[in-house]
Amino acid sequence: MLKVAVIGASGYTGAELIRLLVGHPEIDICCVTSRQHEGLPISQVFPSLAGFCGRVCESLDVASIATRAEVVFTALPHKSAMAVIPDFLAAGCKVVDLSADYRLKDQAVYEQWYQPHTSPELLPEAVYGLPELFRDEIGTARLVANPGCYPTSVALGLAPLLRNDLIDPTTLIIDSKSGTSGAGRGARQGSLYCEVNEGFKAYAVAAHRHTPEIEQTLSHLAGCPVQVNFTPHLLPVSRGILSTMYASLRSQQSTADLLELYRQTYVDEAFLRVMPGGELPNIAFVRGTNFCDIGLVSDERTGRVIVVSALDNLVKGAAGQAIQNMNLLCGFNEQLGLGIVPLFP
């Protein structure tokens, strides 16, 4: 059994890691940490976990944890993550980091959107943990930067088009909508039930920190610098991201041909489901799972393709993808512990 630690277990991402890890046949959760709930059983922090995990929340003592854990999941805010990850690595742990701290390859870009980086020397080594695009690098990594939720939905939705140079990347518009768990479990007025319920809004327009991460991956796929408009919105649901993406096709392509390209591209991908023609994804159909569902329409009138992708922001957008990365890191079957059927309704 592989010993793993969940650092930052009292947030929604931490709870989701535990939910998935307790169902993983090769894993032993040896440690969960929470500054806020130190000393409290995690099953009291999340009564949903009663009967599944007997761990008590610890403080974050890297030296102690590193003697027990082989793989460490850091589910901390950016900045807090890079404050401990170098020590975990130095102590011999492998790290899957769910924060943004090691996702951007260019230190200057990171510092422009976040703050000064305290361990830039690790950036070249860190592997961007999107298995469908970077599977080989992940297998041999020490530090995996688990992608953001929005960037995952965008990269998987656009990869076949960009790799095959079918769209003009200067025309890309990305309109994304996320469930509220993406805002975390911190007590903020903007996340209150009455503020979110029966509401809908755009936020951080032209200013969201996932923009450079999206552009880094799309530029890689396109082979040239790509700039996009990315607009996130807050959905009154607990889980789910749906991204609607628009681009001008370089030449006319039918919906059927494009869907066939997607099916071929992703034929071996267990977690990508390309929708039948005429159907489009719904976040309700991926709930609780590591799936990313993708559909598209080619609009002959305007010459644009509209791609829609849907995933669960806490699973394929965070904890599920982190476990998929861990499976690759540790030589397990990539799907181990992730064969969950979506919960509908």
Q: Supply the residues annotated as catalytic.
A: 149
63 is a site residue for a copy of itself (CB under 8 A)? no
114 is a site residue for a copy of itself (CB under 8 A)? no
Cα Rg for the chain, rounded, in angstroms?
Answer: 20
Pairing outcome for strands 167-178 and 272-274: unpaired
Closest distance to a copy of itself from the beta carbon of 296 (Å): 8
CA distance 116 to 95: 21
**What is the dihedral sign for C-alpha 198, 204, 206, 212?**
negative
Cβ-proximal residues to 47 (8 Å cutoff; 6+ apart), any chain: none
Closest CA to 269 of 95, 97, 130, 127: 130
CA distance 2 to 268: 27
Binding to a copy of itself, residues 23-62 (CB under 8 A)? 23, 44, 46-52
> Which two tokens mark 140?
């041999």
Closest CA to 320 of 104, 13, 1: 13
Closest distance to a copy of itself from the beta carbon of 32 (Å): 15
Query: Cis ω on the peptide bond leading into residue 160 (within 30° of 0)?
Result: no
Closest distance to a copy of itself from the beta carbon of 311 (Å): 12
250 is a site residue for a copy of itself (CB under 8 A)? no
Task: Give whichever of 82 and 235 is closer to a copy of itself, judged by the CB atom.
Answer: 235
Backbone angles phi, psi at 41, to 5 degrees: -60, 140
Number of residues that bind a copy of itself (CB under 8 A): 84
71 is a site residue for a copy of itself (CB under 8 A)? no
Closest distance to a copy of itself from the beta carbon of 131 (Å): 17
Residue of 222, 308, 318, 328 that binds a copy of itself (CB under 8 A):
308
Closest distance to a copy of itself from the beta carbon of 198 (Å): 5
219 is a site residue for a copy of itself (CB under 8 A)? no
Closest distance to a copy of itself from the beta carbon of 62 (Å): 27
Closest distance to a copy of itself from the beta carbon of 173 (Å): 5
Specify which residues 202 forms β-bridges with: 233
CA distance 118 to 341: 40
242 is a site residue for a copy of itself (CB under 8 A)? yes
> Which two tokens mark 343?
């919960």
Task: Give whichever of 107 and 171 is closer to a copy of itself, judged by the CB atom.
Answer: 171
Binding to a copy of itself, residues 5-24 (CB under 8 A)? 12, 15, 19-20, 22-23
Residue of 260, 299, 333, 335 that binds a copy of itself (CB under 8 A):
299
Half-sphere exposure of 213 (CA within 13 A, CB side): 26
The contact mask relative to a copy of itself for 195-214 (x = CB under 8 A, - = no) is: xxxxxxxxx-xxx-------
How far CA 61 is from CA of 27, 44, 71, 198, 326, in Å, comes to 21, 22, 15, 42, 22
Residue of 102, 239, 262, 324 that binds a copy of itself (CB under 8 A):
239
Q: CB count, 10 Å around CB of 341?
A: 8
The contact mask relative to a copy of itself for 130-169 (x = CB under 8 A, - = no) is: ----------------------------------------
Closest CA to 96 of 67, 117, 118, 75: 75
Residue of 61, 90, 115, 188 that binds a copy of itself (CB under 8 A):
188
118 is a site residue for a copy of itself (CB under 8 A)? no
336 is a site residue for a copy of itself (CB under 8 A)? no
